Every structure is written in structure tokens, then in C-alpha cells.
Structure 1
Amino acid sequence: MNNAHIFALYHPNLHNYHEKDVLIIKDKQLRHRITNILRLKPQEPLILFDGTMVYNITIDEQTLAKKDYVFGAICDIQKPHPPSTPLFLMPTLLKKEAFEHVAYYAAQMGAYSLQPILTQKTQRAWNAEKDHERLFNIMIAACEQAKSFTIPELRQPLKLEAVPYVQSESVGLYFEDTRQSLFEIATTLKNQKPSSISLFFGPEGGITEQEECMLKEKGFISCSLTSTILRAQEAVAVGLGSIASLIR
């Protein structure tokens, strides 16, 4: 089935609502999105996903007849296709709005995980419950839009000195103004075929010399993105998008 023009919506724990060949979900908000926002009619297709399974359904007419319920005839059930090379996104924890963009890019471009990193220039605190909930919802919206059905794992912030060393079969990259271009890195990735790739992005103004030495000691390789200066969240979009396209 070609899913390019079919709407996709997230709902947790879909297996709890699977009855024979039908999904029956009591959820007022989900029904509102389907009938009032998307304005789907009976027999029209819809994708529902929960991060572990993807359901292709058609809307049953009972959805319009019964308030607060969604009825969907199941056409197909699949597991999301994990990337052959996981991308571990490790951006510096930026200011609220900028980091929201980063979270969106992480989900939109298929990162395996999002690990905020605390550097010497980090200027904000992390509210574990509020930040996690807000960023998770942003990633859900990105997954729905991009039809990327594997939701990145959102991890707790980690100090730069606690970042693990790059393993022998993996690659770690950080993006700074350097002689080694992204094109050269692309050739390396194509030939090496690493088991995973970790991508570190620094804060506005870059990292300190001490932090750069620390990254090199941990096995990270520097790479230049563009000849111009990018905002921190823009660097994530360019770097993550470029690497993701190279390994897909």
C-alpha cells in the first residue's frame, strides 16, 4: 500500500484495542481529529501507530455514529522498519524554542535517540517532567507528518564529559569549521558501513578548546557542514538530514 497521501496519527498501546480484524478505541480527542479535523469519511484509509506497530485501517461508519469511539477495519499490521544504521543524535541543550526545533528534526529525519548534552555554554535548566512531555509531543507531531513510525528515544541530559567513547565499529561526528568536508565524511561512511553513528552538535558560538579535545579523545571526528555560519538548530537540520540521507 502506498502511504504517501494517507494521514497518520499516533495513539499509544494500540494492541489493547485490537479485536479480531477491528480496532475499537474510545478516545474523544482521537475521534475529533479524525472526523472534525481530517474530515475522514467511512471507508477512507488511515494509518495509526504507537511506536511499536503500524496499523493500516479504513474508517468504519460506526465512528460517525457513536460518540467518543473510533472504529477501524484493519487492512494491514506491520512493525516499523528500523534503520540499518542507528543515528544517535547528541545536540547541546539549547534554549526552549531552539531545542523544540531540534526535537522535531530528530523525529522527522529518523534519529534513533535524542540525547541532550550539557556543555560549558548551556544556559538553561532541564525540567524532567515538563520538558520530556513537551518534547515527546513535538516528536509525535513530526512522526505523524513525516510518516516516520519509530519514535526517537528521548533521554535525560548528559554532561559532555560523561559521553561514552565511540566504539570500534561505530562512527562519532561533531560539526565544526574544519578542513574535512561532509563530502569526505560521506565517502568514509559509504566504505566503512558503521554499525551506528553518533552526531554531536555544539551550542551557539561553538564548544571550548577543552571540550573539543575531550570529543577527540572519545573518538569523535570533526566535520565542516557549510562555508557559512549556521544557528545551532539549523546545523542540526543540515547535519542530521545529510547523514540520514547518506545511510538510507
Structure 2
Amino acid sequence: MRLTRIYVEQALAVGTQITLADGAAHHLRQVLRLRDGNPVVLFDGRGRDYSGQLFLEGRNGVSVEISTCTDEEPLTPLNISIGLGISRGERMDFAIQKSVELGVAAITPLVTDHCAARSSGVRNQKRWDHWKRVVISACEQSGRRRVPVLGKVVNLQDWAALSDGVTGILLDPDALDTLDRLPHPGRQIRLLSGPEGGLSKREQDLALAHGFTSVRLGPRILRTETSPLAAIAAVQMLWGDFRSS
């Protein structure tokens, strides 16, 4: 039977007993229906899994007595950051979820010229909170012990300006270059993927001005949620942790 694995914000340590926050306690008690004495695995995003025993407290509380922990999750040989042009609803969720599963270190939602919607700060914060839950859920499911950074919603120009000095790849179906022609990026790489409708000519020129290289992913046009995932898998195979150590 697969053990329940859940993220908590509290710092964890072997030999301690922690009281879980209301959200985690509700999930374990009311959703998963765990009982006194059930084993559970916790992680705090800092690189280790912690195994322990669950105790119900009162009507709603849950605590966990931590007994063991794993070795620290090794760092990936390739630190992948991806800028995702904000796409509609489930497409954005899917791209974020699978990016986490494939091993990215950071994800930044980008406001672009062809963005699905231009929202207020309040609306963007609500969406960011939702995407953060998607990131956490993907870590819980995939066994990741380090939680990727989810950057705040920014415009493409601001994000691209932070890429100077780092290998940047602009995903473009009309590009001439392919990934296998590029030199080894070192330990860091940044991927830029547009929303539905792609990036505007202005945005492509802006990315190129900040040192990005336009790259195509084969002869087919990929959907907005497929393109970044294909790129992540490809760079992981070429230079990352899909390769044997």
C-alpha cells in the first residue's frame, strides 16, 4: 500500500512531534480518512522526506510524531527555469503540473501581448495561489522533495531582463536551430514558451536582444501546453537528470 505523502510548511526534524496546520489536518482526517497510528510521510520542500505516525487530536486536530528521514535529494545537474505565457484555465494548470514532474527548478507566469486575459493584481494573486497549490500537489504525487520556485506574475520584458548571462531558449516553430545544435549550457538554462497564439514579433525580438536563441522542436506545431513540456524533457535528456550519472 502506498504511503500518504503530504507537504507541510513547518520545518521538520526527526524525534519531534508537530501539530499540522488546519488545511493539512483537514485533508488527512476528512479527505483521506486516516486514523490514529496510520503511517504518513511529510516533506517541507527542503530536500528530505520524513516518516512518522499520525495522531488525531480533538475533533479536528492532527499531529505527527517523526521517527526517520531520507537522505537529502541530490541537486539536479541542470537548473531549469521556465517562463510560461499565461494560457487559459486547465492548459496553464497542466503545463505547470507537468513541468514540476519533469524537474524544473523555477516557473514564472508571464503576461504577454497575446495573453488569455489581463487581470488586476487581486485576480493575479488568486491565480498565483491556485498555481502554487498545483505545484505542491505535483510534488506530492511525483515524490519531489524540493519544491520549485513559483515566481510572481510579471511581464515578459522584466523576466527576460533577468536572463542575461544565462543560456536562454526561445521556443519558436519557425526557428532554424534545434536543441542538439546548441553548446552545453552549463548548470543553468532558461526556457521561454508563449501562450495560445504564441509570442508577438516584438516579444521575440526582445528575447533575442537578451541573448535567447530561437529553437524549434521538430517539424510539427505543438500546442501551448505541449511545447514547454517537450522542451523540458529534451534538455533533461541532453544535459539534465534524464541521463545516467
TM-score class normalised by the smaller sequence: 0.7 to 0.9
Query: Alignment identity in percent?
Result: 18
Q: Deviations over 1:111-131 (max 9, x none)?
A: 221112222111313423211
**SS of residue paired to 1:197:** strand
Q: How does 1:106-145 map to 2 (within 5 A)?
A: 106-126=99-119, 127-145=123-141
1:174 positional shift: 1.1
Partner in structure 2 of residue 184 of structure 1: 181
Q: Is the 8 A contact 1:27 1:70 kept in 2?
A: no
Q: Which moved more, 1:143-152 or 1:97-106?
A: 97-106
Paired residues in the alignment total 234
Q: Is the 8 A contact 2:8 2:20 kept in 1?
A: no
**SS of residue paired to 1:115:** strand
Q: Deviations over 1:134-168 (max 9, x none)?
A: 11111111000111122222222222222226444
Partner in structure 1 of residue 88 of structure 2: 95
Higher helix share: 1
**SS of residue paired to 1:114:** strand
Amino acid corresponding to residue 19 of structure 2 in structure 1:
I
Q: How does 1:210-225 map to 2 (within 5 A)?
A: 210-225=202-217
Name the CA distance, whole Å, in 1 between partners of 2:134 and 2:162.
Answer: 30
Structure 1 gaps of 5+ residues are none
Name the CA distance, whole Å, in 1 between partners of 2:237 and 2:65.
Answer: 34
**SS of residue paired to 1:14:** coil
Over 3 Å counting, the alpha-carbon distance change for 1:31 and 1:212 in structure 2 is: closer
Q: How does 1:1-248 map to 2 (within 5 A)?
A: 6-15=3-12, 18=13, 21-27=15-21, 30-31=24-25, 33-34=27-28, 45-59=39-53, 63=55, 68-76=61-69, 78-126=71-119, 127-162=123-158, 163-164=160-161, 166-168=163-165, 170-177=166-173, 178-185=175-182, 188=183, 192-246=184-238, 247-248=240-241
Over 3 Å counting, the alpha-carbon distance change for 1:139 and 1:66 in structure 2 is: same
Structure 2 gaps of 5+ residues are none
Q: Cα RMSD over matched residues?
A: 2.9
1:25 positional shift: 2.0
Amino acid corresponding to residue 131 of structure 1 in structure 2:
R
Q: Which moved more, 1:207-216 or 1:219-228?
A: 207-216
